[in-house]
Amino acid sequence: MEALTRFFGALVSGGLFPVFLIAAAGYLLGSVELGGVRLGTSAVFLTALLFGHFALSQGAPLQRAGLIPADTAALEHTFRLVQNLGLLLFVTAVGLIAGPGFFRDFRRNVGSYVLLAAVIIGLGAGLCALLVAAGRVDAALAAGLLSGALTTTPGYAAAQDAVAHSDALMREVSVGYAVAYPFGVIGVVLFVQIVPRLLRSDMAAERAAISGGQPRQSTDARPARRADAAGMFAFTLAVALGVLLGRLSFPLPGGARFSLGNTGGALLAGLLFGHFGRLGRMDLSVSTEVLETLREAGLMLFLIGAGVPGGAGFLPVLQSHGAVLFLYGALLTAGPMICGYFFAARVLKMRLLNSLGAITGGMTSTPALGTLIRVAGTGDVAAAYAAVYPAALVLVVLASQLIVSLS
């Protein structure tokens, strides 16, 4: 028995075995359909939360059983790498898919996209301000709740930076983020599936309405050179450029600084590669099959890497702050999301799939975009996500800093 425990302990502590075990369990859970709705890939996030709770939380059962070493630093490092790798793969693939039609659509609808981002982030920030004014939560905790509800790492980082002078306030930001993050993931994933069913939408007609048509053809008549048949050279070059772009930092009002981060940098690089298609005589296109595979694999890895640390801190948060915080987290996800959808559909007159794609961008929800692509049956919805996302990212960073200043 002791030898068996050591064997499984070595497997788990190495990091790779639990990554794929979590993925397998998540896909199995995601295949279960209730009322025509299923979690799909996002169920991986739930299994990752459970693993984080039972393996990495303080006094976790798997640690007591000897299956997880008491020092979990190496395992936690593995999951951080998994999260970052998955994010880069997923977002770069989305950018390459959306690139051919993105800039044309953005020029035509830039005002609407920016306005929608302002409505979503403004509503979320307004709700947080009300909670602070009513004395329900303090400002640092509210900023964490907002960044978690919008699943935005840059917003979370901005809030942490704003309270860096106080360890206690930094913990408050982390608590709020941990509480609201699961609602930010699951809530938007369910929303983009439920709305088309409630409206009984003709998805074929909706796909045709947002179709970007054929990719732009290059006017360069010279034959293009490909480094490999699948386009992996172009994809990996886009990822590398995305990391570089994500490191660039720009000043914001109030003395803060803003950077695109891995998400924004990889998205921009993918859009540029997808739009131009070639660099001189070098073909930068990537096959559809490769992009779809990398997009799915990236989403899976991202959800595992994000879910495990969240599960490790879930129960302590509940014990120390009470269940009402989860209600606030759900409110900050549902309120801006629902109001933003009606604003997009009724005021801006966007088609259904454009509205939902824009909502996933305004909520900065990477997992929900993956689900929407599956529900819609087309990657064209990624163009609306990519158009709204940058504005939402900037606004949520500013909003996080503004909320912290209310203290």
Q: SS3 for 34? A: strand
Q: What is the mean pLDDT of residues 370-381?
A: 87
**Which of 35-49, 258-272, 338-352 shows the highest mean pLDDT?**
338-352
In angstroms, the first-to-last Cα distance of the chain is 55
Tokens of 294: 């990398």
Q: What's the pLDDT band for 8 if we cut at 50, 70, 90?
A: low
Decide if pLDDT at 400 tops 80.
yes
**Does residue 363 or residue 40 have the better pLDDT?**
363
pLDDT at position 214: 44
Rounded Cα distance, 331 and 344, in Å? 20
23-37, 59-73, 92-106: range with lowest mean pLDDT: 59-73
On the question of pLDDT at 27 being above 80, the answer is yes
Q: What is d(CA 99, CA 198) in angstroms, rounded to the nearest whole number?
A: 31
- As a whole number, mean pLDDT of residues 108-132 equals 91
Looking at residue 317, its pLDDT comes to 66
Q: What distances in angstroms separate CA 291 from CA 42, 163, 197, 284, 298, one per listed residue? A: 19, 40, 28, 13, 10
Give the pLDDT confidence score for residue 14 in this predicted structure: 61
Count of CB atoms situated within 10 Å of the CB of 33? 10
Per-residue confidence at 401, pLDDT binned at 50, 70, 90?
A: confident
- Domains for the chain: give ranges and CATH numbers: 2-211+231-404 (1.20.1530)
pLDDT digits (tens, 9 = 90+) for 276-328: 888 888 888 898 889 989 988 998 998 888 778 777 776 766 676 777 888 99
DSSP codes of every residue in 168-193 = HHHHHHHHHHHHHHHHHHHHHHHHHH
C-alpha to C-alpha distance for 184 and 177, rounded to whole angstroms: 10
Between 105 and 83, the more confident residue is: 83
Task: List, for residues 69-85, the tens digit of each pLDDT value.
Answer: 667 777 888 888 888 89
Q: CA dist 99 to 166, 268, 393, Å? A: 43, 9, 19
The confidence score (pLDDT) of residue 212 equals 55
Residue 250 β-bridge partners: 258
Among 165-174, 214-223, 300-309, top mean pLDDT goes to 300-309
Once rounded to an integer, what is the mean pLDDT over residues 169-183?
80
Q: Is 226 helix (H, G, I), strand (E, B) or coil?
A: coil
What is the rounded distance in angstroms from the CA atom of residue 13 to the CA atom of residue 7? 10
Burial class (CB in 10 A: 0-12, 13-18, 19+), 346: exposed
Question: What's the one-letter identity of residue 384?
Answer: A
Average pLDDT over residues 125-129: 94
Residue 73 is predicted with a pLDDT of 77
Rounded to two decimals, what is the model's pTM?
0.74
User: CA–CA distance from 252 to each of 142, 257, 258, 262, 356 (Å)?
Assistant: 21, 5, 6, 19, 29
